[in-house]
Structure 1
């Protein structure tokens, strides 16, 4: 009888853990939808609302220093620079087409499981997102040119 109760509690605990992790992964998509729409609309103020400040920026190499950016700096100086930076290339009809970060964000309508590394951390394109106080925020951007 004790063994049966133990198995039941183990099953309930495992089920609870699974559903809480699944829920955590699912709630990133609605945040991404808001973030993506704000970028698509070029709404810098809305993107800033979805960002943790100071925002960490860093070059493409791990040894590059982290440079904190304020909300004002982000809106007036960094936002356009980062959105216009090269993100990816595709070949269409034998021609190479370069995409900037803005285009890549708009194109990425649905997140995949590999975009979220843990319940509270996601790495999407060249950006890091953290869940802070239960709310997702952009927390770091990698810049090609600091």
Structure 2
């Protein structure tokens, strides 16, 4: 019977990963939270200056840190809402990646990591700012 406990543990690992994945990919409120946040905060981005100098202002790092806190808080809040812990999720995801470095868990881990990447964050913020600038310009015509 010892393997039954292992199977149950494996099943719980898969369930927490699937639950967080479903939340991450499918929860409209989760996605809307970030879309709204980006649109409310992208005005600080000076795309012309970034293009000209290649430098990032300190404010961008502060904004990124705020975004990270929001992202982590949303994920952590969801995990807690299903009666689990971030440590359980992290452990389950690590075990899934170790078991199959090319599998679904590994891909999900890469996507979550990419979401937390500063360069990807800045790309998202710049695109949102450019979109707002285009809309403002078309409204002036």
TM > 0.5 fold call:
no
TM-score, structure 2 length as denominator? 0.33
Larger relative contact order (CA 8 Å, sep ≥ 6): 2
TM-score, structure 1 length as denominator? 0.32
